[in-house]
């Protein structure tokens, strides 16, 4: 599995061959608070880079989760839909949102590294 | 208008509060623990809420004050005993709810607790009915602290002996730190607890004591999940000037005598609604799955006709499921009726549910 890359919308991506795994960052879960609902996409759905792909809701509000990369969904993580609170405990591990078969590795390469993302979060506190 | 702060603003900051603008005030939405933990600790131990943004409106006068207030408030104020409180409303000419409130009879008149966002307009509306002998004061020198949860009584009794004797919706004056304070057994979470009216200069000391007894600070976020589980309305969401008490399913809060005799704003309309029912009515709603039906979610019948809308919806941590309230056409209001909720363009099943979602534990 490749190193994680990060988007400005607080998603992370790791790559295994041409299959990417996408989730939301620890920083995102800290901003959202207690997560109480998750909706993940079904296999076969086509998503565009920065297109809406999943939904996450905290006690406060609903937010869209965007795909930082385009491709075709191969799997949504049903485990987090059944236990939304698990996203708070392990957002960058077991609680990934979806996997997709990517079309253009260049989209992955253009995302931020861990260091760049940490810097981005520091400069854009919310 | 400049953003206002309560006397505890810096205290909240030191407790790690996240602030949001609310009704013209900077108020804590949550602290470090987050909404779910704050909610649970209120239900299992005790939590305190700074509700000092709410208006503490004091009125003094002779019996003509009762006559004046009863024109806009449909409670039986004449027979309200000193130190007893009632949940009621201010009504407009159409019977619409200008605000919901708690009114308490005092030695010299009444104290009314008003919603922060409404208080200025409320006072304007009430003043129309007052005469020059009626004194009134919105007291901004007082803070208001709600202490809620099963351990509240044990904790507060140690500090202020005698509060344990209060019954739900009654209050009394007590001494604390050489000053008078007023405590009522009331709240808005479905738990036993108290609301403490205390001077701004002494409030930090009271909070120090509560925190030393492991009472957690609770923000507006958990206040919302707690009150919704308890089936209680939030003004500006579940209630507004276009909704009357019959539609709001709050006709129990209109005094029996006042229902018969009337003499308050909007009575003609309300009398008719009491006899014939309203077209729409407030109900509890439970989505079948995990989906959260938030405010403005459209409600459909099982055969796809639009029948209403959600006014409050969230995840209920103690119910461990999503919960909501809203208005539906009255013929769909029976408990157990299957409905559909349109969330992000998709329809999800749900049912009309009993209120409250969480059983109240008041000490009566």
To the nearest whole Å, the CA of B291 is away from the closest chain A CA by: 6
Residues B191 and B301 in one domain: no
To the nearest whole Å, the CA of B340 is away from the closest chain A CA by: 18
Residues B163 and B29 in one domain: yes
- Within 8 A of A40 by CB-CB distance, chain B residues are none
Do the chains contact at A60 and B29, CB–CB below 8 Å?
yes
Q: Please, what is the average pLDDT of chain B?
A: 96
Whether B240 maps to a domain, the answer reads no
Q: Which domain holds residue B349?
A: 279-364
pLDDT beyond 80 at A125? no
Indicate the residue among B229, B256, B291 that finishes a domain: B229
CATH fold, domain A5-104, is: OB fold (Dihydrolipoamide Acetyltransferase, E2P) (2.40.50)
Residues B288 and B360 in one domain: yes
Do the chains contact at A59 and B344, CB–CB below 8 Å?
no
Q: What is the pLDDT of residues B34-62, one digit of tens each?
A: 999 999 999 999 999 999 999 999 999 99
Residues B285 and B364 in one domain: yes
Residues B28 and B157 in one domain: yes
Whether B47 maps to a domain, the answer reads yes
- Output the pLDDT for position B332: 98
pLDDT beyond 80 at B363? no
Q: What is the pLDDT of residues B135-168, one digit of tens each?
A: 999 999 999 999 999 999 999 999 999 999 999 9
| CA–CA dist A10, A117 (Å, integer) | 9
Identify which of A59, A81, A84 has the shortest CB distance to residue B225: A59
Residues B165 and B19 in one domain: yes
In the predicted model, what is the mean pLDDT of residues B251-263?
95
- Domain total for chain B? 2
pLDDT beyond 90 at B340? yes
pLDDT beyond 80 at B215? yes
Q: B194, B152 in Cβ contact below 8 A?
A: yes
Residues B156 and B289 in one domain: no
pLDDT beyond 70 at A126? no
Do the chains contact at B221 and A60, CB–CB below 8 Å?
yes
Identify which of B37, B292, B317 has the shortest CB distance to residue A37: B292
In the predicted model, what is the mean pLDDT of residues B71-80?
97
- Within 8 A of A80 by CB-CB distance, chain B residues are none
Whether B314 maps to a domain, the answer reads yes
Q: What residues form DSSP beta bridges with B325?
A: B284, B312
Give the whole-number percent of chain B exceeding pLDDT 70. Answer: 99
- Output the pLDDT for position B53: 98
Do the chains contact at B294 and A33, CB–CB below 8 Å?
no
Do the chains contact at A33 and B290, CB–CB below 8 Å?
no
| CA–CA dist B144, B232 (Å, integer) | 19
Q: Tally A–B CB contacts below 8 A.
A: 40
In the predicted model, what is the mean pLDDT of residues A16-26?
96
User: Cα-flanking dihedrals φ and ψ of residue B80, to 5°?
Assistant: -80, 125
| CA–CA dist A77, A58 (Å, integer) | 18
Identify which of B29, B36, B290 has the shortest CB distance to residue A34: B36
- Output the pLDDT for position A1: 65
pLDDT beyond 80 at B360? no
Band of residue B8 on the pLDDT scale cut at 50, 70, 90: very high
Task: Say which residue the tokens 């707690």 belong to.
Answer: B226
- Output the pLDDT for position B6: 97
Do the chains contact at A60 and B225, CB–CB below 8 Å?
no
Kindly report the CATH number assigned to the domain that includes residue B178. Answer: 3.30.1360.120
| CA–CA dist B246, B239 (Å, integer) | 11
Whether B135 maps to a domain, the answer reads no
Whether B234 maps to a domain, the answer reads no
Residues 84-103 of A with CB under 8 A from B: 84
pLDDT beyond 90 at B257? yes
Task: Give chain B's contact residues with A (Cβ, < 8 Å).
Answer: 29-30, 34-37, 221, 225, 290-292, 294, 314-315, 317, 322, 344
Kindly list the domain boundaries of chain A, sorted by start residue. Answer: 5-104
Whether B347 maps to a domain, the answer reads yes
Whether B200 maps to a domain, the answer reads yes
CA dihedral B221→B226→B231→B233, nearest 10 degrees, is: -40
- Count, residues in chain A: 126
Indicate the residue among B168, B195, B229 that finishes a domain: B229
Q: A55, B343 in Cβ contact below 8 A?
A: no
| CA–CA dist B296, B315 (Å, integer) | 16
pLDDT beyond 80 at B361? no
Q: A23, A90 in Cβ contact below 8 A?
A: no
Band of residue B359 on the pLDDT scale cut at 50, 70, 90: confident
Whether B117 maps to a domain, the answer reads no
User: Cα-flanking dihedrals φ and ψ of residue A5, to 5°?
Assistant: -115, 160
- Output the pLDDT for position B1: 63
DSSP H helical segments within B277-319, as ranges? none
In the predicted model, what is the mean pLDDT of residues B234-263?
97
Which ipTM did the prediction report?
Answer: 0.80
Do the chains contact at A81 and B317, CB–CB below 8 Å?
no
Q: B115, B98 in Cβ contact below 8 A?
A: no
Indicate the residue among B198, B229, B260 that finishes a domain: B229
Residues B149 and B224 in one domain: yes
Radius of gyration of chain B (CA): 20
Kindly report the CATH number assigned to the domain that includes residue B345. Answer: 2.40.30.110
Cα angle at B219 between B287 and B362, to 5 degrees? 70
């Amino acid at each position: 599995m490749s190193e994680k890359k990060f988007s400005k919308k607080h998603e992370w991506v790791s790559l295994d061959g041409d299959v990417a795994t996408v989730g939301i960052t620890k920083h995102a879960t800290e901003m959202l608070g207690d997560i109480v609902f998750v909706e993940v996409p079904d296999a076969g759905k086509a998503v565009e880079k920065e297109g809406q792909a999943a939904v996450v809701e905290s006690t406060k509000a609903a937010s869209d989760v965007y795909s930082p990369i385009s491709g075709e969904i191969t799997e949504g993580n049903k485990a987090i839909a059944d236990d939304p609170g698990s996203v708070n405990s392990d957002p960058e591990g077991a609680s990934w949102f979806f996997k997709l078969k990517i079309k253009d590795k260049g989209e992955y390469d253009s995302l931020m590294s861990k260091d760049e993302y940490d810097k981005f979060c520091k400069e854009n506190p919310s | 208008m400049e953003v206002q702060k309560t006397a505890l603003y810096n205290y909240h900051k030191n407790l790690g509060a996240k602030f949001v603008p609310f009704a013209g005030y900077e108020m804590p939405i949550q602290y470090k623990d987050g909404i779910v933990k704050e909610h649970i600790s209120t239900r299992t131990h005790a939590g305190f809420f700074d509700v000092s943004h709410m208006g503490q409106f004091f009125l003094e006068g002779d019996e003509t004050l009762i006559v004046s207030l009863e024109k806009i408030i449909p409670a039986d104020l004449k027979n309200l005993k000193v130190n007893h409180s009632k949940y009621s409303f201010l009504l407009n000419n159409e019977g619409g709810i200008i605000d919901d409130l708690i009114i308490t009879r005092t030695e010299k008149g009444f104290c009314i607790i008003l919603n922060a966002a409404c208080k200025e307009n409320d006072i304007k509306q009430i003043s129309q009915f007052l005469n020059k002998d009626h004194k009134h004061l919105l007291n901004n020198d007082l803070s208001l602290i709600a202490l809620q949860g099963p351990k509240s009584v044990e904790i507060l009794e140690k500090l202020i002996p005698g509060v344990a004797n209060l019954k739900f919706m009654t209050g009394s004056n007590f001494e604390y730190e050489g000053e008078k304070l007023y405590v009522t057994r009331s709240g808005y979470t479905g738990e036993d607890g108290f609301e403490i009216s205390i001077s701004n200069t002494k409030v930090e000391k009271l909070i120090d004591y509560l925190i030393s007894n492991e009472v957690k600070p609770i923000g507006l976020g958990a206040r919302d999940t707690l009150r919704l589980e308890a089936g209680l309305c939030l003004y500006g969401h579940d209630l507004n000037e276009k909704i009357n008490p019959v539609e709001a399913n709050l006709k129990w809060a209109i005094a029996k005598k006042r229902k018969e005799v009337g003499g308050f704003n909007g009575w003609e309309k309300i009398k008719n609604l009491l006899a014939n029912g309203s077209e729409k009515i407030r109900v509890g709603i439970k989505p079948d799955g995990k989906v959260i039906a938030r405010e403005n979610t459209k409600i459909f019948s099982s055969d796809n006709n639009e029948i209403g809308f959600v006014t409050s919806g969230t995840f209920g941590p103690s119910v461990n499921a999503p919960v909501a309230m809203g208005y539906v056409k009255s013929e769909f209001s029976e408990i157990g009726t299957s409905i559909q909720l349109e969330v992000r363009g998709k329809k999800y099943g749900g049912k009309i549910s009993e209120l409250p979602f969480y059983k109240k534990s008041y000490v009566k």
